[in-house]
């Protein structure tokens, strides 16, 4: 799996390159600025981009904007954004096209190698990987809005873990319930969020995006 990595701190960039390579990824470019990122994404057309939000030259949201421009030119380009802090506006921008294949992790999660690598793989496969703290901040706003109110407490728990990129078996383990129960809750979630069957069967991603969008 081919990866373009953008991180301006050399030690972190080098460490992430080593980590990804050790887990079977091919880092085709590791860059440190927004313009370099834009060039690398166009030149290499990677399977997934791992991008720091803040990159030179502006050190504001250069990385995110470069990734969003690339997704506009290549719809569905998988992008996992790394950020030092939760920025709700950035999370909303990333989710705004509703296409899936997106992730937003705090940089602290990078130190959990398994969680980070799983997030990269999940995003590359078209899923979502939202940091639990990001979800919590989003949930703190407009939690009273539909379709959130349609969900039961347990369905809320299941969908929150889905948003983190957890599989049904992982959700079952986390909530101490059977996988069949997770399946039933998932079916109820699809119904309550008005997500009928689709040919590409991406309802799981659509459910997460609809949920996060409704509370962001």
State which CATH number among 1.10.260.40, 3.40.50.2300, 3.30.420.10, 3.10.20.740 fits the domain covering 2-131: 3.40.50.2300
Maximum mean pLDDT: which of 14-23, 72-81, 137-146, 166-175:
14-23
The candidate with the shortest Cα–Cα distance to 176, out of 150, 151, 157, is 157
143 pLDDT higher than 60: no
Position of tokens 């703290």? Answer: 133
Give dist(CA 122, CA 130) in Å, integer.
11
Q: Tens of pLDDT along 5-40?
A: 999 999 999 999 999 999 999 999 999 999 999 999
Please report, for the chain, the start and end positions of each structural domain, with discontinuous segments joined by +: 2-131, 141-215
pLDDT band at 216 (very low <50, low <70, confident <90, very high): low
Question: Of 193, 92, 114, 122, whose CA–CA distance to 151 is shortest?
Answer: 193
Greatest C-alpha distance within the chain: 50
> What is the SS3 assignment for 31?
strand
| pLDDT surpasses 60 at 205 | yes
For the chain, give the percent of residues with pLDDT over 90.
50
Strand, coil or helix: what is 151? coil
| Digit-coded pLDDT (tens) for 91-132 | 777 777 767 789 999 998 888 899 899 999 999 998 888 888
**Average of pLDDT values for 206-216?**
66
Q: Is the pLDDT of residue 4 over 70?
A: yes
- CA pseudo-torsion sign 129, 76, 145, 106: positive
| Sheet bearing 2-6, strands edge to edge | 26-31, 2-6, 48-52, 79-83, 102-106, 128-130
pTM score of the predicted model: 0.74
With vertex at residue 134, the alpha carbon angle to CA 179 and CA 127, rounded to the nearest 5 degrees, is 50
Sorted by sequence, the CB contacts under 8 Å of residue 210 that are 6+ apart come out as 147, 193, 195
Please tell me the CATH code under which domain 141-215 is placed: 1.10.10.10
**Residue 10: predicted pLDDT:** 95
Phi, psi of 206 (to 5 degrees): -60, -35
């Amino acid at each position: 799996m081919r990866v373009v990595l953008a991180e301006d701190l050399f030690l972190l960039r080098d460490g992430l390159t080593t980590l990804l390579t050790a887990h079977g990824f091919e880092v085709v470019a590791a860059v440190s600025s927004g313009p370099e990122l834009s060039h690398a994404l166009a030149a290499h057309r990677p399977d997934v981009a791992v991008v720091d939000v803040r990159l030179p030259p502006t050190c504001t949201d250069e990385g995110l904007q470069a990734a969003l421009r690339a997704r506009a030119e290549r719809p569905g380009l998988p992008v996992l954004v790394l950020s030092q802090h939760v920025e709700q506006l950035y999370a909303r921008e990333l989710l705004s096209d509703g296409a899936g294949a997106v992730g937003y992790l705090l940089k602290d999660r990078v130190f959990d190698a398994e969680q980070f690598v799983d997030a990269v793989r999940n995003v590359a496969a078209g899923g979502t990987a939202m940091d639990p703290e990001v979800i919590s901040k989003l949930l703190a706003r407009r939690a009273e809005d539909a379709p959130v109110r349609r969900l039961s407490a347990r369905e809320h728990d299941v969908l929150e873990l889905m948003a983190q990129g957890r599989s049904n078996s992982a959700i079952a383990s986390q909530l101490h319930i059977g996988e069949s129960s997770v399946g039933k809750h998932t079916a109820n979630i699809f119904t309550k969020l008005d997500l009928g069957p689709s040919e590409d069967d991406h309802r799981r991603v659509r459910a997460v995006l609809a949920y996060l969008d409704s509370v962001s």
